[in-house]
Each structure stands twice: as C-alpha cells, then as structure tokens.
Amino acid sequence: MQVGFVWEKKPRVVWLSSTLTAILVAIASCVTKGGARAWPYVTIAIRVLRYAAQAAAKSTTRFLQIPFQKLHSMNQNWLKKIIAATLMLGLLILALGWWQHSALLSSIAGFITMVACCMGMSVPDWSGYRFTFWILIANIGAMLAPQWFQNIGEFSLTNSWLMLIVIQAIMFGMGTQMSLRDFAHVVKMPKGVVVGLSCQFTIMPLLGVTLAKVFLLPPEVAAGVILIGSCSSGLASNVMTFMAKGNLALSVTITAMATVMAPVMTPVWMKLLAGSLVDINAFKMSMDIVKMVLVPILAAFVHEWLSSRELRTRRIVQVLTFLASVWIAFLMLGGWQWMVANAVRPSESFQSALSIPGFFAAATLFGFVYHHAVEFVPKLKGWMPIVSMIGIVYYTLVTTAIGRNQLLEVGFVLVIVTFLHNVLGFFLGYWASRALGMNRQDARTIAIEVGMQNGAMGAGIARSMGKLDTVGLAATIFGPLMNITGSVLANHWRQTADDPEPLK
C-alpha cells in the first residue's frame, strides 16, 4: 500500500530515483565487473526504467487533483527532460573518455546512452522512433561487447549463407509492401520517374566519392561510402514520403524501378568510382544483387499473382511452381555438382550466374508456400515488416561487432561523412528536381528518395565481397542516421505541406 501511495503521490520523485538507480547500477557494474560481464546488471537497470515509465504513465490523480490527460502530458514532458539529461551525461562521459583514452569511461557512456534509448521507447510521442532506438541500442551493444555478436561456438554469425538469408528476409518484407501496379505508374508520371532515377543514381555516388576523397578515408572504408551511395532507395523512403505528405505513388514507383535497376547501376558505379580502392568483380556483384534483391521480391510477387482474380494467371504460376520444384529436386540430387563438373570454365563468376535459375526456382516455391500460409494465418502478412526490422537489427549488430576496431579508428570521421552524405543528398535531390521543373511536392519526394539508401543491400554486398568489417561500415551507420534525419525532415515538410507554393 505504501509503495502504491508513493507512485500516486510523487510519480516524479520515483521516476528520478529510478533513473538514477539504473544509471548507478550500470556504472557500478562496469567498475566492479568490467564492461563485458556487466550485462545482467544493465538488464536489471533497464527493467527498472521500463517499469517506472509504465507506472508513472498510469499513476492516478486522486491526490494531485489534475485531469488525467494533463498529468499524462506532464509525465511525458518530465520523461523527455530526464532522457535529454541522461543522454547529455552519456555524451559528456564519452567525450571525457575520448580525451583521457579511457575504455572504462567509454563503456560507462555507452551504458548510459543505452539507458536513454530504452527510456525513449517508453515515450508515446516518440513511438515513430522506436525502431531507430533499437538500431542505436544494437550499435552500442555491439561496440561494448563485440565478441557476443560474432560467433556462437564455432558458427560465425556473419556466415555468407546466413547473411544472404537475412538480407533476403528484409527484401521479402519490402516486397510484400510492393505491387506490380507500382511499375504501371511509370507511364502515368514518366518525367518524375526519370528525374528521380537520374538524381538517385548520380547525386549519391558522386557525393560518396567526393566526401571519401575530401576526408581522406582509408581505401576500403571509402569504398563503403561509395557503395552506400550507389545502392537503390528502400522502403523507408516510402514511409518518410507518406509522413511528409509527398507524392507517395511517385515514391513507390521510383523505389521499385531503382531496385530493379540496382543489379546494373550499382556494379557499374562501384567499378568506375571504387575500382582503384578495392577489387571489384562487377559481374559477380550484379549476380549477388539479383540474389539479394530481385529473388525475394519475385517471391513476394508470386504471392500477388496467386491472389489474382484471373484463373489463367493462377494456373500459370502453379505450373511454374511445379517446374521450380522439379528443378530444385534435380539440384539437390546431384545436378548442381554435375553442372559445375561439366562446365568449360567453372570460375566463381560463372558459378554465381549458374546458380541464378535455382534461386528463382526457390523464390517461386517459397512464394507459393507463403501464399497458402497467409490463407491459414492472415496475420502473417502483417508480420513481414517486423521480420524486416528484426533482420536490419541483426545485420547492424554483426556488422558493428566485426568492424568495431575500424570504427574506433575512423568512427567519428565516418559519422560526419555519413551525415553529410545523407543531408547533402536531401538538399541536392530537392534543388536538382526543382531545377528540372518538378513541383514542390514531387521535388520533396525525390529528395527523400535520393537521401535515403538501402543499407541492407550495402551490407549484403560488403559481405559478399568478404569485407563486411570495412566496406560494410558506412551502410551500418547510414541506416539509423537516415531514419533520424529523414524523420525530422518529413515532419518539417508535413507541417508546411499545405502552404501555398511560391511563385517562380
């Protein structure tokens, strides 16, 4: 009863004490146990904070005599202030640790920042940033305890097949939110699509190589900056366009077309701009992008075709599914080994191209199975974006963990480069579109498409190159950063979407 009374009477006092308790537990655990063994203590601290957030939000007004809505708003405001103070404390300790070259202080700062992120997820007004908070927590966790996210026993968490499956899961989740109708908009708005694609595949690659040279980044890290600039946009750009009240149809169409063009455009730009920095096999890279991007999207489209009202379309897909099953059975029963053994030039690039029919067959079969699974469990389709988010958190964890040492060397500079790459992409995308005659709404849409890249694709390509710990770093930083800047920009444009467009 006494505890309940305290919650009702003094929710702010309890909140403050809970926050300080959690921070002190994290600091004490670092000092006494060391960063790598402090996770149980930090887990307790995070649970205390989350419980405090829920309890403070639900506290009654019997003693305070304040309307619930006002109290709820006050709790949120106080919580935001505490989060800001906690974050500032973490950044201050981080700066001190960097100045003193102290790993202990850096670990303490990381724990405090994680606490601030966990608190931020409890703020209803920040519900749209929860995914970003998860990404930040994943980054910090991997920096503090990288050994946890590299291997499980003898199994590597960056295994090439595992990473491929994770990237395909992310792209499949994206594909379920797309439709073949998106490609039909090319005919309805050809100018916007051409301008958007032109800006997408020129501004970001050229910005990447310019920034890499200006900041004198190490060759493989510089290649990663060029790589993220050469990738297509992702589903996040469609979400930001919707938030900004932009032209959503144009956004979805540009994303779809850029994704299809990526197997050609990305290797070409990498060969031209990064060929002197790292070894680039453009053909193999193209085949890898097909496997990572087009194959899972094909699986999503198979589900859409099977949902068609036209009986003929469904029959064709069913026949293709049968043929795909036969081809997969052939490969599993020794057909793959037979084809490789009888190949004239069994090079790595040749084998990569030879595997493409098998991947397309697997996509067809998977789409067929997924379609019938959705019929039994209709909620399954709604879970796909969550699967994509989990996949993004996973590759963020393992990429940061394996590239931790490189990040410690060039981390601050790389964050600045990535930030400029992202923000200048927005800026140049908007004004280039305006210069080419696009109206304000379409120019804002294209700016978001240009500034937001497909980080999962970049990480997947880096892994296929065997350079996830260097080339993949820029993609790891770009992802969470673009979500933050994109959200801020989208909310600003949303507020001014109804303002009259200035006369030319």
Please compute the mean of the pLDDT values over residues 143-149 and round it to a whole number.
79
Report domain 157-495's class.
mainly alpha
Q: What's the mean pLDDT when you consider all of the chain?
A: 78
Q: So where are the chain's domains?
A: 2-149, 157-495
Task: For strands 155-156 and 151-152, give the pairing.
Answer: antiparallel
Answer yes or no: are the C-beta atoms of 26 and 49 closer than 8 Å: no
d(CA 181, CA 310): 15
Q: What is the mean pLDDT of residues 417-424?
A: 93
Is the per-residue pLDDT at 2 higher than 60?
no
Q: Which two tokens stand for residue 384?
A: 């796909």
Q: What is the pLDDT of residues 89-142, one digit of tens each?
A: 877 887 777 776 777 777 787 788 878 877 777 777 777 677 777 777 887 888
Alpha-carbon distance of 330 to 491, in angstroms, equals: 53
More confident residue, 1 or 86: 86
Across the range 155-164, mean pLDDT stands at 82
- Cα–Cα distance, 225 to 470 (Å, whole number): 10
Looking at residues 380-393, what average pLDDT do you find?
Answer: 81
Q: Let me know: does 237 contact 489? Beta carbons within 8 Å.
A: no
Highest-confidence segment of 27-36, 40-49, 59-68, 255-264: 255-264
**378, two tokens:** 């209709």
Least confident of 97-111, 233-247, 305-319, 409-423: 97-111
Query: For 1-13, what is the HEC assignment?
Result: CHHHHHHHHCHHH
Compare 159 and 218 and report the one with higher pLDDT.
Answer: 218
Q: What is the pTM of this model?
A: 0.73
pLDDT at 3 over 50: no
Q: Are 259 and 289 in contact (CB under 8 A)?
A: no
CA 362 to each of CA 260, 269, 329, 336: distance values in angstroms, whole numbers, following the listed order: 19, 30, 11, 14
With a CB cutoff of 8 Å and minimum separation 6, the contacts of 278 are 219, 220, 223, 465, 467, 471
Task: Give pLDDT, residue 69.
Answer: 44
Q: What percent of the chain has pLDDT over 90?
A: 18
Q: What's the CA gap between 40 and 264, in Å, rounded?
A: 48
Task: Give the relative orientation of helices 160-175 and 380-402 as an angle to the nearest 10 degrees.
Answer: 140
Dihedral sign, CA of 9, 12, 18, 20? negative
Higher-pLDDT residue of 141 and 261 is: 261
pLDDT: is 418 or 500 the higher one? Answer: 418
Strand, coil or helix: 355: coil
Q: How would residue 64 be classed by pLDDT, with cut points 50, 70 and 90?
A: very low
Q: What is the pLDDT of residues 265-321, one digit of tens each?
A: 999 999 999 888 888 888 888 888 888 888 888 898 898 888 877 888 889 889 999
Band the pLDDT of 29: cuts 50, 70, 90.
low
